[in-house]
Amino acid sequence: MLQNKNILLCITGSIACYKSVDLYRKLKKEGANVKIAVSASAAKFISPYIFESFGEEVFEDDAFKSPLSHIALSKFADIILIAPATYNTINKLAAGIADTLITLTAAAAPDKPKILVPAMNPNMYANKILKENLEKLCAFNFSVVSPETGNAACGDYGEGKFPEIDDIIFGVKSVFKKKTLKGKKVLVTAGATREYLDPVRFMSNGSSGKMGIGIANAAVQAGAEVTLIALNIGDRIKYINRHIKIINRTDFSGLKEVLLSEFKKTDILFMAAAVSDYGFKEKSPVKIKKSGNKGAGGTLQIELMQNEDLLKAVSKIKKIGQIVFGFAAETDSAIENGRKKLAEKSLDYIFVNDVSKDIIGGDENEGFLINKSGEIKSFKRENKESLAEKLIDEIN
């Protein structure tokens, strides 16, 4: 999404300045053209020579040396990314003060999107002057990637830490996305349910939750308010954007209870979770012992009981205007089976994966999107994140 986009990375003087080197490298990796502007105090924290070593021209804060730099930079930028943005710079921007290269450039680019990544002491970040000014700037083509909570360099604890690089990249990409789901509430399920036989053993499948996480993140970028019901997704939780409300559940009954209540508040449901079709008829409250069996080669009989189909349960409470998007895992006759499921489960869309092709648990996916009118669209193999963005675009 950032391929060939022109990004002006502006660095102002916070202790977090050194992190902007990683940010620069990630922007380049994403294919962006990056120019760098460094304030006088930032140049004391990090040497512009770092960026020059990567072959970049660094614009320093000397308006008298090159009086028209701010105009050239404002014309270059598709986005002005001020990271870190200090208390001083944010408040100056809000007051319309333009006395440094960075504030001048922002002033010369009123119509360009500008992103602020504040990083400062928690008390300074909590200061109402700053809060009011951030709000004010958001009405003038600025957006904010808010800081994290943690220990500041000075030892104080609170909100003000420079966010993770991936969060900033996510914010930059969001600027390029149309806000087609603004005002919509999206519910996503991701991962695999576990059916427990006893407190230790369970039955499950290899679904990683990556597709559902991709859908949830793409929906945030499209402006939706997103809730994700996460089923046993382990440390993949770190890939979920922090604006997403996460509800963790483990088994079929936990999922059913929260899904049916959350669905009532939802405009669009993406049912990406791999739900167990069967659970154990009886669950032992204690660990089942092998003693009593006949030793190696002996058998153990366990009865399974079919679970309810949750999408069918959802269709019974579905109201006009609500959209339900299902997924199907097929190893053969993908389109035929997908059509059948779309009809049986009263879906608006179904994405059919051919799971015989190494898709479950992998980073990539491919398949067919079928809608209620029977139209079919084929999607070639690509990573789950970018496929998710395309599926979100289809909903629009």
The footprint of ligand CTP (CB under 6 A) covers 271, 273, 275, 277, 307, 309-311, 326-329, 341
Q: How far is the CB of 271 from ligand CTP (least distance, A)?
A: 4
Nearer to ligand CTP, 95 or 305 (CB): 305
Burial bucket for residue 297 (CB in 10 Å: 0-12, 13-18, 19+): exposed
Residue nearest to ligand CTP (CB): 310
Q: How far is the CB of 94 from ligand CTP (least distance, A)?
A: 47
Contacts of 209 (CB under 8 A, 6+ apart): 190, 191, 192, 230, 231, 232, 233, 236, 272, 273
Query: If you write DSSP's letter for every residue of 197-255 in order, what string do you get?
Result: SSSS-EE-----SHHHHHHHHHHHHTT-EEEEEEES-GGGGGGS-TTSEEEEE-SHHHH
Cβ atoms of residues 35 and 76 within 8 Å: yes
Q: How far is the CB of 221 from ligand CTP (least distance, A)?
A: 22
Which pair of structure tokens corresponds to residue 126?
């909590």
Nearer to ligand CTP, 282 or 308 (CB): 308
Q: Helix 87-95 and helix 128-138: axis angle, to 10°?
A: 50
Given strand 79-85, what is the order of strands in its sheet? 58-60, 33-38, 6-11, 79-85, 114-118, 142-144
Cis link prior to 113 (omega < 30° from 0)? no
Nearer to ligand CTP, 182 or 312 (CB): 312
138 is annotated as an active-site residue = no
Nearer to ligand CTP, 104 or 271 (CB): 271
Nearer to ligand CTP, 30 or 267 (CB): 267
Q: How far is the CB of 241 from ligand CTP (least distance, A)?
A: 22
Q: How far is the CB of 321 from ligand CTP (least distance, A)?
A: 20
Which pair of structure tokens corresponds to residue 200?
């230790």
Tell me which residues are annotated as active site: 154
